[in-house]
């Protein structure tokens, strides 16, 4: 990790305070390259001087933001992934919905709109234009006002429509001059608005969230925050479609791959302690032979188990505890008969009292997957805690068994794997964003600077500016 450059960081703070643009969560390597590129165009030697320059020349903000916000896009960009969305993912998504159920789609980081209209075309093809008009809403957002203005016009030149199959171009666009305008009757279902992925609230109840080639510009921490919002934005079972450099290997807790290669993921249901497993007591096999000293054997087996375990009666008294529980929490056989809620371990390292009640009421095992516990100074362990209701053959509640599995080693391995995955993702994203930078470098010489209007600051709700 390179040390942050204080002058550069001061510049980012200035951009945030002056124009409401928060670039602090963007990857430094690419960001510094792009700012540096703009500075060399106007022959400013360092970041401090560039900050002074911005103070004196406010029009420079426009040029700078144009340089930073890479807006490379296209219709059905990465055709193979879109094909998979069309042939496999959309049909099953639509089949899971009622025939009149509304469909909510979000294109986040939509640039000049090609992605949003690609989605409109796919859905109109799948549903037919009438159903599309009544059922579909496509929210398309970006932080770049200039891009949004272009997107709202829905008008593209020859070069921009090149990626479209001719039959789709003919069906969905009206030619005029040397431009093509998206069909007005379908255009009404596409709603554009400014939304800053870093600062603004997400749109909710989304069935399909498309955010391609935008996440890769953010650092890992900001990506995580955005992904948590995306998780919130999606309805149950909702689909997330990312760009080809964006893998999410390290966010398996929020999204599970439908097709990793095409970067299609499904929302994992909000994690709730417990895995829904119904716990019932196994019927006891009829004893074949009498075993002498069975009770002692049972007690000893329970006591010597390498897994810490405590059993609490249905009315909340400590019934059993084993040696591991004593080592870990200091609960000894002397506590037997005491109310469990009086013990420290009833709320430390995790609040167990409510969970015990829940397990008893719902008659199912509750699982708390990762609990950090400071066993002694400098000795931290990770535990998986399971709360199992114990019932007899008539389904009468006997009590609960509390099991504490030491998952420290597995947790460390998991962290190392996540770290390696993050590094892999970052390297791949860097490569992809450098490619996009190169594309804009070769294009931008023919492109006039876009006029800058101050952004609506993040304190105004993002949905206020929705316009078709
Ligand atoms: C490379 S383009 C991708 C366009 C399109 N999604 C695609 O894949 O073809 C990245 C887009 O992300 C947008 N973007 C960058 N930072 C953003 C932010 N903080 N919030 C919303 N959009 C952002 C840029 O303005 C740009 O339009």
Q: For residue 394, give the CATH number of its domain.
A: 3.30.450.20
- Cα 256 to middle of ligand 1, angstroms: 23
Within a domain: 414: no
Residues 169 and 229 occupy one common structural domain: yes
73, 109, 217, 262, best to mutate for ligand 1 pocket (most atoms within 8 Å of CB): 109
214, 436, 457, best to mutate for ligand 1 pocket (most atoms within 8 Å of CB): 214
Residues 142 and 248 occupy one common structural domain: yes
Residues 118 and 31 occupy one common structural domain: no
Residues 217 and 321 occupy one common structural domain: no
Within a domain: 113: yes
Question: Number of folded domains in the chain?
Answer: 3
Q: Which of 355, 381, 406 is the last residue of a domain?
A: 406
Q: For residue 37, give the CATH number of its domain.
A: 1.10.155
Within a domain: 248: yes
Residues 259 and 313 occupy one common structural domain: no
- 288 vs 371: CA distance, rounded Å: 42
- Please list, in sequence order, all residues whose beta carbon lies within 8 angstroms of the beta carbon of residue 142, skipping any fewer than 6 positions away: 109, 110, 111, 148, 151, 194, 195
Q: Whose CA is nearest to atom 24 of ligand 1?
A: 69
Residues 250 and 130 occupy one common structural domain: yes
- Cα 113 to middle of ligand 1, angstroms: 11
Q: What is the pLDDT of residues 128-156, one digit of tens each?
A: 999 999 999 999 999 999 999 999 999 99
Residues 52 and 88 occupy one common structural domain: no
- Please list, in sequence order, all residues whose beta carbon lies within 8 angstroms of the beta carbon of residue 333, skipping any fewer than 6 positions away: 321
Q: Whose CA is nearest to atom 2 of ligand 1?
A: 71
- Cα 175 to middle of ligand 1, angstroms: 27
Are the beta carbons of 249 and 425 closer than 8 angstroms?
A: yes
Residues 321 and 243 occupy one common structural domain: no
Residues 242 and 302 occupy one common structural domain: no
Are the beta carbons of 137 and 468 closer than 8 angstroms?
A: no
pLDDT at 156: 98
Residues 262 and 374 occupy one common structural domain: no
Tokens representing residue 204 in the block: 């909710």
Residue 278 CA: distances (Å) to CA of 273, 275, 282:
14, 9, 12
Within a domain: 418: no
pLDDT at 360: 87
- 310 vs 312: CA distance, rounded Å: 7
Largest distance between two CA atoms of the chain: 97
Q: Which of 271, 304, 319 is the last residue of a domain?
A: 271
Q: What does the DSSP assignment read for 204-239? A: -SEEEEEE-SSGGGB-HHHHHHHHHHHHHHEEEEEE
Look at the block and give the residue holding tokens 């700078």: 64
Within a domain: 428: no
Q: Which of 49, 68, 87 is the last residue of a domain?
A: 68
Within a domain: 39: yes
Within a domain: 417: no
Residues 264 and 119 occupy one common structural domain: yes
Within a domain: 392: yes
How many angstroms from the chain centroid is the CA of residue 76?
A: 23
Domain that residue 151 falls in: 79-271
Which segments in the chain show pLDDT lower than 50? 271-287, 445-464
Other C-beta atoms lying within 10 Å of the C-beta of residue 420? 12
Residues 45 and 92 occupy one common structural domain: no
Instruction: Please provide residue 152's backbone torsions phi and psi, each rounded to the nearest 5 degrees.
Output: -65, -35
pLDDT at 452: 32
């Amino acid at each position: 990790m390179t040390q942050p450059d204080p002058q550069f960081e001061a510049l980012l703070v200035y951009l945030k305070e002056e124009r409401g643009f928060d670039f602090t969560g963007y990857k430094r390597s690419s960001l510094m390259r792009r700012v540096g590129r703009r500075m060399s165009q106007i022959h400013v030697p360092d970041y401090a001087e560039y900050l002074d320059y911005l103070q004196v020349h406010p029009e420079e903000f426009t040029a700078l933001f144009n340089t930073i916000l890479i807006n490379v896009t296209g219709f059905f960009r990465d055709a193979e992934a879109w094909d998979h969305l069309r042939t496999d993912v959309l049909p099953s998504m639509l089949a899971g919905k009622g025939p009149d159920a509304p469909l909510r789609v979000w294109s986040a980081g939509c640039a000049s709109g090609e992605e949003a209209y690609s989605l409109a075309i796919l859905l109109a093809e799948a549903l037919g234009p009438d159903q599309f008009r009544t059922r579909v809403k496509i929210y398309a957002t970006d932080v770049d006002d200039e891009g949004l203005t272009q997107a709202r016009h829905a008008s593209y030149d020859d070069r921009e429509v090149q990626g479209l199959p001719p039959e789709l171009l003919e069906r969905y666009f009206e030619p005029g001059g040397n431009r093509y305008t998206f069909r007005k009757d379908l255009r009404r279902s596409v709603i554009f608005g400014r939304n800053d992925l870093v600062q603004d609230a997400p749109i909710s109840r989304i069935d399909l969230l498309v955010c391609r080639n935008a996440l890769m510009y953010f650092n890992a921490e900001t990506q995580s925050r955005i992904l948590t919002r995306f998780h919130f934005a999606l309805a149950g079972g909702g689909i997330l479609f990312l760009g080809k450099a964006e893998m999410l290997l390290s966010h398996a807790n929020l999204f599970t791959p439908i097709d990793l290669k095409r970067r299609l993921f499904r929302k994992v249901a909000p994690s709730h302690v417990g895995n829904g497993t119904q716990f019932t007591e196994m019927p006891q096999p009829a004893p074949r032979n009498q075993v002498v000293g069975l009770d002692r054997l049972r007690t000893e087996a329970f006591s010597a188990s390498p897994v810490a375990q405590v059993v609490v009666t249905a009315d909340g008294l400590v019934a059993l505890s084993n040696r591991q529980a004593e080592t870990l929490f200091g609960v000894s056989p002397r506590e037997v008969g005491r109310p469990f809620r009086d013990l420290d371990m009833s709320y430390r390292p995790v609040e167990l009292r409510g969970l015990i009640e829940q397990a008893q009421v719902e008659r199912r095992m509750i699982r708390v997957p990762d609990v950090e516990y400071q066993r002694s100074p400098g000795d931290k362990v990770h535990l998986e805690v399971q709360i199992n209701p114990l019932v007899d053959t008539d389904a009468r509640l006997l009590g609960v068994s509390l099991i504490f599995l030491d998952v420290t080693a597995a947790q460390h391995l998991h962290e190392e794997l996540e770290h390696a995955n993050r590094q892999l993702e970052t390297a791949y994203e860097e490569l992809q964003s450098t490619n996009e930078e190169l594309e804009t470098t070769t294009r931008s010489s023919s492109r006039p600077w876009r006029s800058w209007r101050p952004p609506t600051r993040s304190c105004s709700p993002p949905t206020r500016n929705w316009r078709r």
